[in-house]
Structure 1
Amino acid sequence: MVFTSSSPAVLPPIPDNIPISQFMLTEANGRYPLAKARDPFTCGLTGKTYSTLEVKDRVQYMARALAKALNWEPNRGSEWDKTLVIFSVNTIDTLPLGWATHELGGIVSPANAAYSAEELKHQLLDSKAKALFTCVPLLPTALKAASAAGLPKDRIYLIDALPDSGKIPTQYKTLSQFVEEGKSLPKLEKLNWRAGEGARRTAYLCYSSGTSGLPKGVMISHRNVIANVLQMAALEKSWRDTKKNADGSYYSDVLLGLLPQSHIYGLVVICHAGTFRGDQVIVLPKFELRTCLAAVQKFRISVLFVVPPIIINMLRSPDVCAEYDLSSAVALLTGAAPLGQETALDFQKMYPRVAIRQAYGLTETATVVTATHFDDVVLGSSGWLIPGVEARIVTPEGVEVTQYDTPGELWIRAPGVVLGYLNNEKATKETFIDGWMHTGDEAVIRKSDKGKEHVFIVDRIKELIKVKGHQVAPAELEAHLLTHPAVADCAVIAIPDDAAGEVPKAIVSKSAEAGPDDEATIKSILKYVQDHKARHKWLKGGVRFIETVPKSPSGKILRRLLRDQEAAIRRQAGPKL
């Protein structure tokens, strides 16, 4: 049985002959009028901002200067000859830089700001990056990774829109210098794409662990992003039409832009869909509770885009939250990890005027597949399928579910489903089958009191661990741990954590080289991961020794058995004091 959206909205035609930059910076496809839109990106620390029309100009200036520096021309060469990695915390210039790259027909590959040099090196090599933009706080890591990847220093540039980021080394060209240089350069030739090119050309190369295994480059087309933006706009149109301003102008929101712009949630849902609708994004480089709340108060933020650990942080800090005026907030939208019904209820009691909405999506669906509609909020649900999305629920035995409240793997068919994984035909064939994306997530469909079909994500078939919304692949950590002399075999599983949602824990079978002091061995293993992996991949759940890691006859780790063991150990230990 194929499930479709409960929304009556009609999805408009999705253009497939233009880049994302032209879609975002012209009004031809229903974008909020450029001259009337809010400033798209505003620094939540300093208030520095540009109007939408100024951003449009800056994109052109950046593109001209990039073309000169990198010898890139809009209608020459493949997009794979023009790959640019952005390794930075959130800034007001990150998205415009990406759109400038798209104006040249190039690819943007956002890198997680928490990456270690080794992880960034992998992305630079795998993407065959021709240039790297970073920021002063991350420059040491960027230099180490670039050196290891063979990327010359004269192809490393700095985004300098960060407040208090320290002195900018003069030997590196900055984005501001690109903009100034571009003002005096001739206009670029406009991209001349035939029908279908936007659907087959990669725009963003985002790295994801997929449904299993090591991080892979996800090839996201221009049409994928454009489609998802139009789908989300269609879902909300009827509600926004009822919220027109007194002067007849269309309603727009002020959004919390805290989530990483390298993450598909922040990249597409906040920075593309939001600005297309005329919203303003208040950009913050990292989460700090008081800074975040101060930004909500100062800029009158109306929609809080967060992940569950931030909600839990707010619930545990009622006195701090009470110091700030959060009355401007009308909605909270959470994604990247499931929000439990109990947590949602607690937040609703604390802020009864705020509509709690959830969305579900993946990098591989670029991005949103389901979202809560204001007219039908059901706590614990991930909302309706958005317009243009089809879904199937299939049991592990391959039987298609035709009834409500029957769990199975969620399969998705939608215009946002991506082109596949870069240089990984095996993973592509395993995930994208006969037009359907196999999510690896277990879901059920239930009807709300209003008779609308809602998607509930009830379990995770895939092996990913979600730490504060960041993906951690057990296979990646296991491969790393197996290079430690004290580790003969291992498995990494998720255990619950109040602050992060989940954290990794290693179940280790010791090698003959392991010493008799278990405490010293554990410390050595923990440090080994900390020295080589990003913070969210650290073994915050600890290490437990086991005689033999349980596996199936085919050699697959029996993770569910290990998770059950851990749950029993926690029950026996009792509640934390």
Structure 2
Amino acid sequence: MSEFSSPVPLPDIPDDLSIPQFLLRELSFPIRPNRPRNVPFFIEDATGRGITYEEAHRRTYGLANGLSLKWDIGPKDVVCLFSPNHTDYAIVIWAVHTLGGIVTPANPTYTVEELKYQLSLTRAKLIAVHSSCLPTAKAAALASGIPESALFVVDSPASSISSGIPTVEELTAYGINNPENYKPIRFKKGEARTTLAFLSFSSGTTGKPKAVAIPHFAVIANVVQMTVHHRLNDPSWPEKRILPGDVAAGVLPFFHIYGLVVIMHFMLFAGVSIVVIPKFNFTEFLDSITRHRMTHLYVVPPQVVLFCKHPAVKGRDFSHVKYCTSGAAPLNGDLMMQLAKLFPNAAIGQGLTETVTTICSLQPERTFGTIGSAGALVPGIIAKVVKEDGTLASEGEQGELVVKGPAMALGYYENPQATAETFVDGWVRTGDEVIIKNLEVFVVDRLKEIMKVRGFQVAPAELEGHLLLHPDVGDACVVGIPDEYSGEVPMAFIVPNHHALERIKGNPDAAEKLKADIQKHVSDAKVQYKWLTGGVQFVDAIPKNPSGKILRRVLRDKAKALVQSQPLKASNKDHYLALFFHGYFRNLDECLLSATMGRRRIASQVHQQVSRLLRANYIKKEPVWYQAVLENPPLSLPPKAPPPRTAYDQKPAQSSKPVAHSDRPVAIYYLEDDIRRQFFKDHPFETFRPTTLVETARIEDPHPIRGEKWTRLGQRGRNPLPEDAVRFTLNLYQYHQMSLSEAYAKAVAQFRALRSEHHIASTFAALEAEQLGSTFGKSEIENLFEREKRSLATWDRKEELDEGALAARKRWKAIVERPHVKQLEDENKSWSKGEEYVRLWQTGNRPNYIPALTLEAEPIDLNDQSDPLKLATLVTSPSRRPSAS
């Protein structure tokens, strides 16, 4: 089987409705459960105050009118929602959607820099902010060019911190008490599939977070999928897991896609009340569960750990809880077992969230999920498992999970490259390595480099880029290490630069101080779950493959070995077996490369595969050799062995045979050619890298220093070129008694370091200048290009006015205006110049298209319009007519 899907069919999903129309107006949707009038939409956790359907409806359209009156919010305007969970969170979203706008939810713990990035990328027009986040929002708005008058407060603070800034309460009253200033958006058939509702930020493997473009139809489709999956309105299914009047915990952040779609929208559609909890505090959360008699708990693995191990749980009655599911990250099987004991009357399961949200969930007929399983595919999802070689895996085989369905995002906002990598021909690459058995998905590993910290995505590249800005960091790599509470936490491997290395060498106190300084460098600029909680480790070098890509799995395994609190001590026999195992395959590689490729692959990945199986609970205990192999890992197998380098230091062999005399001159040999050839073989991208005129031009007069002290690589303020590395290699070889290989290695290392330093310095200088208010006009080169374009346009115009060209155009105009050509044009056919030439030869006329190579042509009077055919042809003597045969 190449594709997997649920056998349960989906009903027709409306594609002409916005999200608020679907939730607040379409109350008679066929599969929608009936919500009793006394069941509120939202319940405020602290006070118990409920917001009914009627109040939510009235406040949504009142706030929409207020936003339209005050800021003229309309279609495609982006509003940033920067707030923790609040009873008006959904009201703000639906009000913006009613006006046709787009909402971009932001993490309320963001720093100024992180919020500024989101505001700039989405080009937000308005910011809805909680009073607790107001200082950060003001600073980020100022840095993004958004005026303070474009802010409004979600809550109604008692303090004067938001003095002068309107609140949602005030805007709603203003909108209700004034005539309607807008027309509710109405989609045409199919328009909801492409009209954006959310720009939800998700981390990527290549740097800063990316904005996922989510249309209205995707959210509505996922709500319908979950409704059908749980059989909420199926009369043949008596034991329904979710009933109108149930109470769900709204403790997960609403800015996260899991809380935004699963809790806020699906639960409300199902007739469930949501207890809105602004901030997670575990003991207070336990009190809320009991006080509100919550029936449905949607949690993440760190919260599951607290349920299983926190002493405050003991003695509490959770008999009213009938459903508990964990999402956003994989859950350990032992924790699931403990959770089942804690909630004896509850169905315990997991979910897998990708694209917009849920693609897997616990089956409705089961009360306990399979250990290691993320659940079954929900209706409408089609899945494929793609193996490393690109072929499709069968049931039980391992590979990357690729899915498609109605609830898919449109791609990454204004990032076509990332969109093309993840969204391929309607399929979405999840980056999860899975096995599918009986339509259940078992997550084995994560192919993408993204870490999941407490359910939040953290991109290593983002942290690495920030670490490289530290003055003492030469190179960096960030990996995730297992953590019982957070699932994963970031750990950084740092290569100190030579100044820092001299400072900490033999000085443990200085090394610890530098580690603390590096951790503070991250914590000062990043949100808390991105901090280097796993610690900092100094290494001599970051392992990379021949193409320069970081071998992250090698460091990940090294990190796991470092953080094990009680490592299993391997016996001498185990160490001997591991070393023999390592050397055996290495020797086979040298002797029998082609015959043992499969065994080499197994040898290089055996400890990684065992690590995956341990995490997936396929094996419970570590093999006795596991720690020994981790401490002495096998040689990593490169994707393809690089070609052997030129032996620079070996003189070419010369034959002793006499060379026959030849008139051909002896070939001139330059050592630079060999160095240049090797450099471009090692750096093929430099061959095609576009260079600017400034980069290739001299920026200094010829340097007066010659000999051993000369190198253009030492000149500051200039992006080094390949030719600089070649000249420096030759300089070291000639004046420093180095071998050519050593000189080449040193020159290339300096070239790479300065190229990176130049890129970072120039980028930082531009950002700093922009922060200080600088604006950049066109450069001298751009002005030169503009002048050249104008000159070319002038030449083109002169050519158009050329008399010869004008005459040719008149001739052709006379031809195409003849009756038989007009008739062809009426029949939507064309008449080419080639067809005209053939017609002229057949009628005995010679086309005058190369006058200089044919008989002398009659002079043509361009002002004579009496005979149009005279302009097109010249009659020749019958002797030049082609023969009839």
Fold match, TM over 0.5?
A: yes
Matches within 5 A, 1:387-426: 387-404=379-396, 406-426=397-417
The one-letter code matched in structure 2 to 1:343 is L
Question: 1:498 deviation in Å?
Answer: 1.7
Q: Which structure dedicates a bigger proportion of its chain to helix?
A: 2
**3-state SS, counterpart of residue 14 of structure 2:** coil
Change (3 A) 1:264 1:315: same
Larger mean Cα displacement after TM superposition, 511-520 or 539-548: 511-520
The one-letter code matched in structure 2 to 1:234 is V
Residue equivalent to 1:110:
105
**3-state SS, counterpart of residue 289 of structure 2:** helix
Q: Distance in 2 between matches of 1:296 and 1:394?
A: 42
The one-letter code matched in structure 1 to 2:357 is T
Question: 1:323 deviation in Å?
Answer: 4.6
Q: Deviations over 1:201-260 (max 9, x none)?
A: 110000001465421011000001010000000101258754589xxx964421110000
Q: Say whether 1:84 aligns with 2:79.
A: yes
Residue equivalent to 2:452:
466
Q: Distance in 2 between matches of 1:118 and 1:540?
A: 21
Residue equivalent to 1:157:
152
Q: Say whether 1:543 aligns with 2:529.
A: no
Q: Say whether 1:499 aligns with 2:492.
A: no
Matches within 5 A, 1:432-451: 432-447=423-438
Q: Say whether 1:349 aligns with 2:341.
A: yes
Question: 1:567 deviation in Å?
Answer: 2.2
Matches within 5 A, 1:215-234: 215-234=209-228
Q: Which of 478, 488, 494 is equivalent to 2:464? A: 478
Q: Distance in 2 between matches of 1:421 and 1:66?
A: 27
Question: 1:457 deviation in Å?
Answer: 1.0
The one-letter code matched in structure 1 to 2:47 is T
CA contact under 8 A between 1:294 and 1:324: conserved in structure 2? no
CA contact under 8 A between 1:509 and 1:546: conserved in structure 2? yes
Following superposition, which runs of at least 4 residues in structure 1 exceed 3 angstroms of deviation?
1-7, 30-37, 165-168, 210-213, 238-245, 249-252, 570-575
Q: Distance in 2 between matches of 1:239 and 1:71?
A: 40
**3-state SS, counterpart of residue 62 of structure 1:** helix
Residue equivalent to 1:43:
44
Q: Distance in 2 between matches of 1:489 and 1:305?
A: 40
Question: 1:127 deviation in Å?
Answer: 0.5
Q: Which structure dedicates a bigger proportion of its chain to strand?
A: 1
Q: Distance in 1 between matches of 2:565 and 2:95?
A: 57
Q: Distance in 1 between matches of 2:192 and 2:28?
A: 16
Q: Say whether 1:260 aligns with 2:222.
A: no
Structure 1: which 5+ residue stretches go unaligned?
448-452
Residue equivalent to 2:63:
62
Q: Distance in 1 between matches of 2:277 and 2:479?
A: 31
CA contact under 8 A between 1:487 and 1:508: conserved in structure 2? yes
Residue equivalent to 2:363:
373
**3-state SS, counterpart of residue 499 of structure 2:** coil
Residue equivalent to 2:849:
none
**3-state SS, counterpart of residue 498 of structure 2:** coil
RMSD: 1.9
Q: Which of 424, 436, 440 is equivalent to 1:454? A: 440
**3-state SS, counterpart of residue 301 of structure 1:** coil
Q: Distance in 2 between matches of 1:379 and 1:161?
A: 46
Q: Which of 377, 381, 386 is equivalent to 2:378? A: 386
Normalising by structure 2, we get a TM-score of 0.61
Question: 1:315 deviation in Å?
Answer: 1.1
Q: Distance in 2 between matches of 1:222 and 1:380?
A: 33
Q: Deviations over 1:139-198 (max 9, x none)?
A: 111111111111100011111168xx8555221110000111111122332323211211
CA contact under 8 A between 1:102 and 1:203: conserved in structure 2? yes
Q: Say whether 1:145 aligns with 2:143.
A: no
Q: Say whether 1:133 aligns with 2:124.
A: no
CA contact under 8 A between 1:445 and 1:454: conserved in structure 2? yes
Residue equivalent to 1:450:
none
Question: 1:564 deviation in Å?
Answer: 1.2
Residue equivalent to 1:179:
172
**3-state SS, counterpart of residue 97 of structure 2:** helix
Question: 1:32 deviation in Å?
Answer: 3.6
Q: Say whether 1:360 aligns with 2:360.
A: no
**3-state SS, counterpart of residue 281 of structure 1:** strand
Question: 1:55 deviation in Å?
Answer: 0.3
Residue equivalent to 2:191:
197
Change (3 A) 1:386 1:37: farther
CA contact under 8 A between 1:211 and 1:431: conserved in structure 2? no
Q: Deviations over 1:462-496 (max 9, x none)?
A: 11111111111101000000000111111100011
**3-state SS, counterpart of residue 402 of structure 1:** coil
Q: Distance in 1 between matches of 2:18 and 2:301?
A: 33
Identity over aligned pairs, percent: 38
Q: Distance in 1 between matches of 2:418 and 2:123?
A: 20
Q: Say whether 1:24 aligns with 2:18.
A: no
Q: Deviations over 1:43-101 (max 9, x none)?
A: 1122122101110111000000001111134xxxx41xx10000101001001110010
Rg bigger for which structure? 2
The one-letter code matched in structure 2 to 1:372 is L
Matches within 5 A, 1:267-278: 267-278=260-271
Q: Distance in 1 between matches of 2:184 and 2:81?
A: 24
**3-state SS, counterpart of residue 440 of structure 1:** strand
Q: Deviations over 1:369-407 (max 9, x none)?
A: 111123133232111100000000011111210132x11
Q: Deviations over 1:253-299 (max 9, x none)?
A: 21110000000000000000010111111110121111111111111
Question: 1:572 deviation in Å?
Answer: 7.7
Change (3 A) 1:567 1:244: closer
Structure 2: which 5+ residue stretches go unaligned?
505-509, 569-885
CA contact under 8 A between 1:37 and 1:279: conserved in structure 2? no
CA contact under 8 A between 2:318 and 2:343: conserved in structure 1? no
Change (3 A) 1:573 1:380: closer
CA contact under 8 A between 1:301 and 1:328: conserved in structure 2? yes
Q: Distance in 1 between matches of 2:565 and 2:57?
A: 60
Change (3 A) 1:291 1:240: farther
Residue equivalent to 1:489:
475
Normalising by structure 1, we get a TM-score of 0.92
The one-letter code matched in structure 1 to 2:130 is C
**3-state SS, counterpart of residue 338 of structure 1:** coil
**3-state SS, counterpart of residue 225 of structure 1:** helix
Q: Which has the higher contact order (CA 8 A, sep 6+)?
A: 1
Change (3 A) 1:34 1:177: farther
Q: Which of 190, 200, 204 is equivalent to 1:206? A: 200
Residue equivalent to 2:326:
334
Question: 1:12 deviation in Å?
Answer: 1.4
**3-state SS, counterpart of residue 218 of structure 1:** strand
Q: Deviations over 1:94-132 (max 9, x none)?
A: 011100100000000000112111100000000000000
Q: Distance in 2 between matches of 1:186 and 1:283?
A: 32
Change (3 A) 1:484 1:573: farther
Residue equivalent to 1:530:
523
Question: 1:511 deviation in Å?
Answer: 1.1
Change (3 A) 1:512 1:225: same
The one-letter code matched in structure 1 to 2:514 is T
